Structure 1
Amino acid sequence: MIIDSFPHKFFFTFLYKITRFILAIMFFYASYDKILYPTAFAKIVYSYQILPDFFVNITAIVLPWLEFVLGVFLIAGFYIQGSAIITNILLIIFMGAIIFNLSRGLNINCGCFSTSLNTSISLLTILRDMFFIFLSFYLIYSVFFLLPRSKK
């Protein structure tokens, strides 16, 4: 479905750009502290008890930079189709890790936006992630189905 009429086109283009902006800011904010303090972030990744030990450090180094680059691409509109797909995959993985650890009864630091704040995972964390996943699904829908190629 491609939007052709002016009011609809304007509205959906605006919504698409706002969605990109919100997700980009979220990824910038999420990456900042993790880039500055990779050791603290590695401890948080380890506390999730999901990855094998040899993946913890590489994840703690690569993931924040991936979040940062996604933020840049979303703001600038570079590689937007790939960025939308990776955004969805990351957010679903993040929420899956949180749900998995909540179901195991682990009370661990989320590490979502800061390595220094002791923000435990909770139902609120899941609700927040669901909001971001909703935005990322809208981004996918916009990129692949709603807006014409020239507006991406």
Structure 2
Amino acid sequence: MKRVAAFVASHGNALLALVFRLYLGGLFIYASIYKIMYPAVFAQSVANYQLVPEMFVGLMAVTLPWMELVCGVLLVVGVRGRSACVMIAAMLTVFMLALVWALVMDIPIGCGCFDSQEAEVGWRTVLRDLGWLLMAAHVYFRDSLFHLENRFSWMIGEEVR
């Protein structure tokens, strides 16, 4: 029992980062599945924000969910987690800016994050995403436990800290 307590005491930030990493990874995997299965519905959600030129809506609706899926899987398995965090932080930042734009311009939209039946977004959605962004930052700077990548560090010549 003392060993567990000592481990938690000395690795508290890393354990929290591990929880955040698994949560964000699972969240982005979950968010990507509906969008991958129904790209036309997601394309309409993207178009509703009125920020992306119409000719790029389809491309964005097809590529963005796959980026979410790949980043989520990378976080869950612990491979290139910092790179996945950067991509997730970038996606969250762009999405939060789009949300703020829609709220300021009083555009009635649904999030388009998980399915087509979502309620309209509000400032709570921005705060929720800001929380996820802070989780990604914590993972980026503090994650050091249970990386699959460390098992193969001899192949890439480095170890994840």
Tell me the TM-score range normalised by the shorter chain: 0.7 to 0.9
Q: Number of aligned pairs?
A: 143
TM-score scaled to structure 1, two decimals?
0.86
Letter in 1 for 2:133: I
- Contact kept in structure 2, 1:111 and 1:119, CA below 8 Å: no
Q: Which residue of 2 aligns with 1:53?
A: 54
- Residue by residue, what CA displacement relative to the aligned partner does 1:85-107 show, whole Å, maximum 9, x if unpaired? 11111111111110111000011
Deviation at 1:11, TM superposition (A): 1.5
For structure 1, list consecutive stretches of 5 or more residues without a partner in the other structure. none
Q: Which residue of 2 aligns with 1:102?
A: 103
Q: In angstroms, what is the RMSD of aligned CA positions?
A: 1.9
Rounded Cα–Cα distance in structure 2 between residues aligned with 1:151 and 1:78: 9
Residue 43 to residue 22, structure 1, CA distance change in 2 (3 Å) = same
For structure 2, list consecutive stretches of 5 or more residues without a partner in the other structure. 1-5, 145-157
- Contact kept in structure 1, 2:20 and 2:135, CA below 8 Å: yes
Deviation at 1:8, TM superposition (A): 4.2
Rounded Cα–Cα distance in structure 1 between residues aligned with 2:37 and 2:159: 37
Rounded Cα–Cα distance in structure 2 between residues aligned with 1:22 and 1:16: 10
TM-score scaled to structure 2, two decimals?
0.82
- Contact kept in structure 1, 2:71 and 2:88, CA below 8 Å: yes
- Residue by residue, what CA displacement relative to the aligned partner does 1:43-100 show, whole Å, maximum 9, x if unpaired? 1101100011111000000001110111100001111221111111111111111011
